[in-house]
Structure 1
Amino acid sequence: MLFVLCAVLVISACSSTTKDAATQPAATKEKEVTFLFNFASQTIDPHQDYTPLRAGITETLVKLGEDLKIEPWLAEKWETKDGQHWTFEIKKNVTFQDGRVLDAEAVKQSLERAIKVNPGVEQVLKIKEMNASGQTLSITTEQPFPQFPSELVHPNTSILDVNAPDPDKKPVGTGPFKVSSFTAGSSLKVERFNEYWGGAAKLSRASFNFNEDASARLSALMSGDADIVYRPPVESLETMKSDPSLHLESVMSLKTHELIFNTHQSEFQNKYVRKAFDALVNREELKDVLMGGQATIASGPFMPNFSFIPSYEARTTGADAALKWFEKAGYQVDQGKVSKDGKPLNLKLVTYTSRAEFPLFAQVLQAQAKDIGIQISIEFVDKYEDYLLTKDDWDLGTYSPIIAPRGDASYFLNVSFKPDGTLNFGKINDEELNRWIDELDQMVDMDQRNELIKKILTHIDEETYYSYLVHPNTLVVYKDRVKNWVTSKSEYYMLTNQLDVE
């Protein structure tokens, strides 16, 4: 009787389940991914941080294509007659994630906020006046600025609803994903925005997590705690390649690893000292040993495929070449050792850990300098960019900026070499260089622009304001269940509405 009773209950339950399934609509399959990035965000205010754009929360008026040409995004088109007065037509039928309609006034308010909270945005946009009417946004720049639309590619010009509260923890954008939660320095969780103008995302939700330890990121992938890992450790390349469940992508990025010289320090006001350290750097070792071959040796700041690259003179590198530059700088060189006024040099190099090769590179440079009698102390710094800009207690530093985030040279030259540039970590103030950059900013003819850029880059090379080391590849490894992932050269676009999992 007990057996019969159990059988009846099972049949009844199955019948009930079948009936419910027949009367209920089919449930949408829930899909999600966990993405591990190497640099932690302390805020997700899109006017201060790149993560909201990368995570598909916000979008910009203009987008950078993989061919490094700008494309319409939230702006359908734009035009100008004189390079100073611009008209942008804002895409119709777009809403923010809180339901507000995107129009020219909303874009104007967002750009005004970006300019107010981020001095770097104000510096590069150079906007004098904006007027909004329906879907038409009129912008007047302070002076003729032919490359203005390309500046609107920058993630910090992302468009957000300025009326929404708490933009540093829950910004409201127009992208395919909206914020579920954010923990500073740890993780960002997003969910699908069903009314996204480009079509609802294939994923239901995603986690955009942060971990600066490359080995820990890879371990999370191998254990199943992550699906996509940005910049896995290069020493594990063969392990990743041999695993049939993983896909490894290596794409030349728009970044350039550089050694920075603090020109506020007396030693590095001498260009021959800068040239000495430039010669001392072993770029081949950095590329092949420390980065597993995942880089291209740099001759200057830009990748070699741009039309404005000058013909650089071949460098002579190594300890002997460095010693010759030190002698030219007026330093004493005796038995392969450098001194100044009878005393050895003691210098401080600062760096950070989110680029795994930088601590190793710092140690290698420290050893190379020691061989010629120079003592270098190494310090790891938090809030690295702020430290470099505001402190003067350092001599050398490492950094890896995105050199051509707009497909044009003017942005990089302005932020890296103008006295108030947001990436002018070397604290450079060259009056001739400033004048040329100002001239470039107003130049319309492309052939003339390219010739002037060549002139500027040749001057930068002669002065050796930075030591340009390598152009690193962007490495991404992901599970084979992940579909439609694209490793963007610009490193701007990561979680998209097309990203999917099986």
Structure 2
Amino acid sequence: MLLSGCMNNSSVTEEEDKHIHFLYNFSTNSLDPHVDSSYVPLRAGITETLIRLDEEKLSIEPWLAESWEGEDGQNWMIKLRKDVKFQNGKVMDAEAVKMSLERAVKENVAIQNALKIERIEADGYTLRIKTTEQFPEFISELVNPNVAIIDVTETDIVNKPIGTGPFKLTSFVPGSKLELERFDEYWDGASKLDQVTFSFNEDANARTLALKSGQVDIVYRPEVESLDMLQEDEAIEVESTSTFRVHQFTMNLQRESIQDVNVRRAIDALIDRQKIVEKILLNHAEVAVGPFLPSLPFAPTYDSQPSGEDVAIEYLGKKGYTMMDGKMQKNGEPLTFTLLTYPARADLPLIAQVFQSDAKQIGIDVEIRQIETPEEYMASNRDWDLATYSNLTAPRGDAGYYLNATYHPTGALNFSKADEPELTAIIDKLNQTVNQEDRAILAEQAADYVYENMINSFVLHPSTIVAYNKNKVINWVTTKSEYYMITNQLDVK
């Protein structure tokens, strides 16, 4: 049954058509690019953004936009490419882009907060945008997949968005798969592929078996335990690439026990990062102290801190907790945590289980609760203390995205409900700073504040692992941003 969702009749058409079957680890029930948190429309090659990330230089570059100006950081002029068509044949001009951006802002509060747009004017192939305040990093926010450009005059954006990408949608089964075909009038050169199947399966073992059996051609995040087996197969290529991602423990600061920094430091001390990296990720990761990869220019250097059960007990003692009858308690009330996790990232439930076991050693009971869509659940419910969560922290090569989204009171991913005036002031200053060296200093200050106050706790930076049939697939690239997957360069032998 697990494999049945991946089945495709590609063997019938393979002799006639060039086809690739890609299997992803997150499912979606909506293809509305302005609200879809799994970014499937962009990843599947349906949509594109005005600006994209140059992953080698860690800088932004034009995509649907041709150039931009905005010296004062508030009044922007963006010139669009004049050779772009939507997949329904309509021309992409400034008016169409204006309508798409306005819809993104209307439908997605997080985008509204991120872009800070006061007004947009369209003239031919030129956009003029004024932001509500000086915002030098405005252009980099246009990399966000939720700001993808679509024809908003179409009637069924949830099930059939019309974008500008190299592949147009032919069918969509929510939670199961997309069928795509080449868009012959694609502005950057039509793909050599005729068709692509982009399917979903959140079971890592099932994804691995689907590749081994030849049912699919490319698998995103196969089961880590199966990597040795896959690497021994001469027909399979396995790529492991460091990314801008961090696995973290998100703290619910609205829960009474979590509000004390000593309790949060005790939680952090209980996380056995090295064991998790070695035993669960099989060293396809590196230990994290803060949110940013140490190689990034705005990542702070942290002093080594003691950890372990004794350290956790010492922190809890500062809050008045003592061990009685095998339970960590205060005033007769045992300390317990509800810990959220989700199966789409197979390592997160295992990390939760390791923490549950280690916490039990000092008398703390941890209830693990499995959820399906973490963003929706954590935003709507406050009946949890901790959550294992995975986040892209620098997908645009800059710290601003993560800091705004995760720690600013208006941030879309501020599931902790952090509202720290000092931290907010640093982020606000970062948003108005142009010089990259000054931005790096402010980003370090913000990351240091998060660490000192243990607003969230960071576990590891995982590698992105992709496995594919190397006897068939050509030009697959495993990106650090995890944004660009199905491209017009992808091909088969």
Regarding TM over 0.5, the answer is yes
Distance in 1 (CA, whole Å) between partners of 2:64 and 2:413 is: 27
Q: Aligned AA for 2:356?
A: Q
Deviation at 1:448, TM superposition (A): 2.0
Aligned-pair CA distance for 1:98: 0.5
Asked whether 1:338 is paired with 2:328, we answer yes
Bigger-Rg structure (1/2):
1
C-alpha separation in 1, matches of 2:179 and 2:50 = 24
2:484 aligns with one of 493, 496, 501: 493
Residue 33 of structure 2 contacts residue 145 of structure 2 at CA under 8 Å; is this kept in 1?
Answer: yes
31, 41, 44: which one aligns with 1:55: 44
Q: Report matched runs for 1:355-434 at 5 Å.
A: 355-434=345-424
State the partner residue of 2:28. 41
Task: Say whether the 8 Å CA contact 2:294–2:300 is kept in structure 1.
Answer: no
C-alpha separation in 1, matches of 2:159 and 2:107: 15
In 1, Cα distance between equivalents of 2:243 and 2:325: 42
Shift of 1:342: 2.9
**Unaligned segments of structure 2, at least 5 residues:** 1-14
Residue 323 of structure 2 contacts residue 363 of structure 2 at CA under 8 Å; is this kept in 1?
Answer: no
- Mapped partners of 1:278, 1:89: distance in 2: 48
The aligned counterpart of 2:18 is 31
Describe how 1:200-279 pairs up with structure 2 within 5 A: 200-279=190-269
Alpha-carbon deviations, 1:472-492, whole Å to 9, x = none? 000000001100000011111
Question: Conserved in 1, the CA contact under 8 Å of 2:340 and 2:388?
Answer: yes
Whole-angstrom CA distance in 1 between matches of 2:401 and 2:491 = 34
Letter in 1 for 2:32: D
The residue aligned with 1:288 is 278
1:21-170 correspondence to structure 2 within 5 Å: 30-49=17-36, 50-67=39-56, 68-170=58-160
The residue aligned with 1:299 is: 289
Q: Relative to structure 2, which stretch is displaced further, 341-350 or 179-188? A: 341-350
Task: Say how many residue pairs are matched.
Answer: 476
User: Which region of structure 1 is more displaced relative to structure 2, 413-422 or 461-470?
Assistant: 413-422
Deviations for 1:247-268, whole angstroms, at most 9, x for unmatched residues? 0000011110001111100111
2:448 is matched with which residue? 458
Q: Output the aligned Cα RMSD.
A: 1.4
Q: Contact conserved, 1:177 with 1:193, CA < 8 A, in 2?
A: yes
Give the superposition deviation at 1:404: 0.8
The answer to whether the 8 Å contact 2:395/2:480 transfers is no
CA contact (8 A) 1:84 1:140 kept: yes
> What is the CA deviation profile of residues 262-289 of structure 1, one whole-angstrom value per residue up to 9, with x for unaligned ones?
1100111001100000010010111110
CA deviation vs aligned residue, 1:188-214 (integer Å, no higher than 9, x gap): 110000010111111100100000000
Q: TM-score, normalised by structure 1?
A: 0.93
Deviates more, 1:70-79 or 1:333-342: 333-342
Structure 1 stretches of 4+ moved >4 Å: 333-337
Q: Which moved more, 1:94-103 or 1:328-337?
A: 328-337
Deviates more, 1:313-322 or 1:265-274: 313-322
**How many Å separate the matches in 2 of 1:405 and 1:121?**
16
1:484 alignment partner AA: N
Contact 1:337 1:371 in 2 (8 A): no
* Aligned partner of residue 376 in structure 2, secondary structure: helix
The CA distance in 1 between the partners of 2:371 and 2:230, in whole Å, is 31
Give, in angstroms, the shift of residue 337 of structure 1: 5.4
Q: Partners of 1:176 and 1:226 in 2: how far apart?
A: 21
Identity of aligned residues (%): 48
Q: Which amino acid letter does the alignment assign opposite residue 365 of structure 2?
A: Q
More off after superposition, 88-97 vs 334-343:
334-343
For 1:285, what is the secondary structure of its paired residue? helix
Letter in 1 for 2:128: S
Unaligned runs of 5+ in 1: 1-27
SS of corresponding position for 1:111: helix
Quick check: 1:323–1:336 contact (8 Å CA) kept in 2?
no
AA matched with 2:205: S
User: CA offsets, 1:287-324, max 9 Å, x none?
Assistant: 11011111011120001112122221212111111111
Is contact 2:343-2:372 (8 Å) kept?
Answer: no
